[in-house]
Structure 1
Amino acid sequence: MSKTGQARVLTPDQFAHLLRVIQEHRYPEKNTALVQISFKLGLRVQEIALLQIKDVAELGPESSGQRSFKLKELLALPAAYTKGADALKRSKPTYQRRRISYSVHDFDQLVRRIETMAKAGAEIKPEDFYPELKKHRGKSRDLPMNDTALRTALENYLSVRLASNPSLKKSDALFLTQKGGPYSPNTLQEHFALMQRQWAGIERASSHSGRRTLMTNIIHDQKKSVKIAQKIAGHVSASTTLIYEDPPEESLKEALQDAGYLYIS
């Protein structure tokens, strides 16, 4: 069962409507590619923000102000891009918990250690006694890029990018903001909300809708193994993947309409 406040799972009609609406606004090639990657590969917003051109295409040499490229068949998503990895290098690990739990044995050892240090006249700092922080590591995954609509969107977008700047480097960010810089996860999250909620009028849709829609499609509609969805999502536990599986709202409507109750007036 889905949690309250989770991103909306889009129906095929809503997804088609979103793609049509995108064509009515600026940068349709970029926005179409963003939506296709989100809904066809199930990437997290941080992963999309961190994508580089080399992750999806091989660039040819620049010649006479033109640049060719070839889309890859496989998106090899590095572990550094994934959830929990400090890929942006913008935050320092800090200990934020206000309460710390110890076993009786560990607490006794801690007290004796402090007593020994105090008797020796050593400086005692509280942070020296905090438990070690758990470091979250990302999980790499290989995602085939064989969906026709996805490949067409990427080809159209890269053609526009290279036409305006043939000197692009393979390490340049795949997606750029209107100001020309790479997206931060927060900025990209806001952009997905703008496209889906304001442009397309889809309530509760967010940057996570693509990921949840894909997981729901794989498990609920295609009847594929949860293990397949788990591997695509990059989840360590299959139980996490099952949280993403959410019967479409249309299925709920049909169930309520076809409940079979007899009403007596």
Structure 2
Amino acid sequence: MAQAKTLTTVELDQVLRYANSRQYPERNRALILTSFYLGLRVAEIALLKLGDVVNEDGSIKNEIRLAGSQTKGGHPRTVYVPEKLKPEFQAYIKTRHVKDCSMPLFHTDNKLGFSPNGLCVWFFHLYRNAGISGASSHSGRRTLITTLANKGIGVRVLAEIAGHRSIAVTQKYIDANPEMMRNAMNLI
């Protein structure tokens, strides 16, 4: 099976424009950017609860603590929320009319939480309808890891961010692209 496509900034913008034109634009943006800015697996996104992301005072948490039951392999981990994702979460949460912290963060059309498989299908249709071929629910994750590698973040840190137990797995996520190779050659 081929690896998920890593998206360029132009392609991500294309996906976001499409998502903004659909029903639930705030949810769509928050879902997509959760994948691209946190690098979570689709099952981890589907299993997020409102209380995982929102403090009691309504502010967005700086860290999301995933329980073992929310992660692949059953190992709890901490995910750090970048500042540029917080306004996206805030905008989305304003559209939710639930206060129960045990409720799923992301809702379906029926206002229920996504199943991991249902969210995988949602991403498939999103990318296909946005005109991006080769992308999947794993594309945000691969794009984040590749982008950070391009910026010089070491593979050990990338493995922690991704929740990988082995750096060999993380290395498979890094897409060698022309920009990376050009930057490498300019170090000479």
State the TM-score, normalized to the length of structure 2. 0.91
Structure with max Cα Rg: 1
Q: CA deviation at 1:232?
A: 0.3
Residue 118 of structure 1 corresponds to which residue in structure 2?
Answer: none
Q: Which residue of 2 aligns with 1:151?
A: 86
The letter for the 2-side match of 1:147 is: E
Q: Which residue number in structure 2 is paired with residue 195 of structure 1?
A: 126
Q: Output one character per residue of 1:49-69: Cα deviation in whole Å (capped at 9) or x when no partner.
A: 000001000244xxxxxxxx1
Long gaps (5+) in structure 2: 183-188
- Higher helix proportion (structure 1 or 2): 2
Letter in 1 for 2:159: Q
1:141-162 Cα shifts (integer Å, max 9, x gaps): 21221231x111100000110x
Matching of residue 51 in structure 1 with residue 48 in structure 2: yes
Q: Is the 8 A contact 1:58 1:170 kept in 2?
A: no
1:76-225 to 2 correspondence within 5 Å?
A: 76-84=65-73, 138-148=74-84, 150-161=85-96, 165=97, 167-198=98-129, 200-219=130-149, 221-225=150-154
1:31 aligned residue (15, 28, 33): 28
Among 158, 163, 170, which residue is 1:229 paired with? 158
* 1:200-259 superposed Cα distances (whole Å, 9 cap, x missing partner): 10001110000010111111x1121000100000111110000101124xx28x98xxxx
| Contact 2:65–2:78, Cα closer than 8 Å, also in 1 | yes
The one of 2, 7, 19 equivalent to 2:4 is 7
Give the structure-1-normalised TM-score: 0.65
Kindly tell me the number of residue pairs found equivalent between the two proteins.
181
Whole-angstrom distance in 1 between the partners of 2:2 and 2:8: 18
In structure 2, what residue type is equivalent to 1:174?
Answer: L
SS of structure 1 residue aligned to 2:55: strand
Per-residue CA shift, 1:84-133, capped at 9, x if unaligned?
Answer: 3xxxxxxxxxxxxxxxxxxxxxxxxxxxxxxxxxxxxxxxxxxxxxxxxx
Runs of 4+ in structure 1 off by over 4 angstroms are none
5+ long unaligned stretches in structure 1: 61-68, 85-137, 256-265
Structure 2: how far apart are the matches of 1:19 and 1:184? 22
Helix, strand or coil at the partner of 2:127? helix
Most deviating of 73-82 and 186-195: 73-82
